[in-house]
């Protein structure tokens, strides 16, 4: 049903970059926050770090809870800072994220809205599993709250002391709250860390959503999603809903 295995009765959607065009807002806010800090510090070898780029975002920050993303990036660059600096960086990023949201609103992807309608009409249970503590406001601003039976977000991850993506815990909680095990659920993810989480959780399907290109030609990001364990990689959920030639999971 809807391009998913027969056993699937629940769809677990990541939010930013799958249902809404907000991965780009996170990227902008992180880029500004990191690049305000980096020129003023040195790494463990005494060098001024190179600026934070989109590829840093995809490799270390995308899909992970806020503090995990900061720590993963700083560790990759061999940068040591005190916990207060980590906290202030996270706060600065969040202020910027909320300011952009306030200014621009949130755009849901049309193919995602069509898929949500089709999933609801087909009787699939719908949950959102996001590492963001802004999951509720983003869903609300996008007008998607009405579709969602269960939301697991960054606040739940902190309060329940769950391991963030790429650990499978937040998706497993989403499935449990929807009353199914991993064999009854499909994960939809745009981040490598999120696909890895779905794969580690042994879900019936892990759909990698590659919004970095509108081409059917495999992009580098599509290859990374496949490498992280996606069972299928699509550039639009229309391909699952309407059918047609599989874009496949590039090797
Ligand atoms: O800072 P927030 O809103 O809690 O979001 C944490 C993370 O949430 C994820 O959904 C995003 O992919 C990341 O880019 C983001 O950093």
The partner residues of 128 in beta bridges, in order of sequence, read 13, 151
The partner residues of 152 in beta bridges, in order of sequence, read 129
Ligand 1 nearest-atom number relative to CA 97: 3
CB 43 within 8 A of CB 13: no
Which residue has the CA at smallest separation from atom 1 of ligand 1?
A: 66
Q: Is the CB of 191 under 6 A from ligand 1?
A: yes
Ligand 1 nearest-atom number relative to CA 57: 14
Q: Is the CB of 68 under 6 A from ligand 1?
A: no
pTM: 0.94
Q: What is the pLDDT of residues 158-201, one digit of tens each?
A: 999 999 999 999 999 999 999 999 999 999 999 999 999 999 99
Ligand 1 nearest-atom number relative to CA 190: 12
Q: State yes or no: pLDDT of 105 exceeds 70.
A: yes
Q: Domains of the chain: which residue ranges?
A: 10-21+106-242, 24-104
Can you say whether the dihedral through the CA atoms of 89, 43, 191, 168 is positive or negative? Answer: negative
pLDDT at position 244, please? 55
Active site residue 16: yes
Q: Distance (Å, rounded) from C-alpha 23 to C-alpha 18?
A: 8
Q: Is the CB of 63 under 6 A from ligand 1?
A: yes
Can you say whether the dihedral through the CA atoms of 82, 84, 87, 88 is positive or negative? Answer: negative
Q: Distance (Å, rounded) from C-alpha 115 to C-alpha 118?
A: 5
What is the CA(38)–ligand 1 centre distance, in A? 20
What is the CA(30)–ligand 1 centre distance, in A? 9
> What kind of fold does domain 10-21+106-242 have according to CATH?
Rossmann fold (3.40.50)
Ligand 1 nearest-atom number relative to CA 94: 1
ipTM of the complex: 0.99
pLDDT at position 213, please? 80
Q: What is the pLDDT of residues 51-84, one digit of tens each?
A: 999 999 999 999 999 999 999 999 999 999 999 9
> What kind of fold does domain 24-104 have according to CATH?
DNA polymerase; domain 1 (1.10.150)
Task: Given the residues 14, 68, 111, 232, select the one marked as catalytic.
Answer: 14
Which residue has the CA at smallest separation from atom 16 of ligand 1?
A: 66
Q: Is the CB of 135 under 6 A from ligand 1?
A: no
């Amino acid at each position: 049903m809807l391009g998913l295995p027969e056993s699937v009765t629940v769809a677990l959607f990541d939010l930013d970059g799958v249902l809404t065009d907000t991965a780009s807002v996170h990227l902008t806010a992180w880029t500004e926050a990191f690049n305000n800090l980096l020129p003023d510090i040195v790494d463990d070898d005494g060098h001024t770090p190179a600026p934070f780029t989109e590829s840093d975002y995809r490799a270390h920050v995308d899909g992970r809870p806020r503090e995990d993303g900061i720590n993963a990036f700083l560790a990759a660059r061999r940068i040591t800072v005190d916990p207060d600096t980590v906290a202030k960086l996270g706060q600065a990023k969040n202020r910027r994220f909320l300011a952009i949201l306030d200014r621009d609103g949130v755009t849901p992807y049309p193919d995602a809205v069509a898929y949500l309608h089709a999933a609801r009409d087909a009787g699939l249970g719908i949950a959102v599993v996001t590492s963001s503590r802004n999951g509720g406001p983003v869903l609300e601003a996008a007008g998607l709250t009405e579709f969602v039976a269960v939301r697991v977000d960054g606040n739940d991850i902190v309060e329940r002391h769950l391991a963030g993506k790429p650990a499978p815990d937040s998706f497993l909680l989403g499935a449990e709250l929807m009353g199914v095990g991993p064999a009854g659920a499909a994960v939809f993810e745009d981040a490598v860390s999120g696909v890895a989480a779905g794969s580690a959780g042994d879900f019936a399907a892990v759909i990698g959503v590659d919004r970095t290109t509108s081409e059917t030609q495999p992009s580098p990001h599509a290859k990374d999603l496949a490498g992280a364990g996606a069972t299928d990689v699509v550039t639009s959920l229309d391909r699952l809903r309407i059918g047609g030639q599989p874009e496949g999971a590039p090797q």
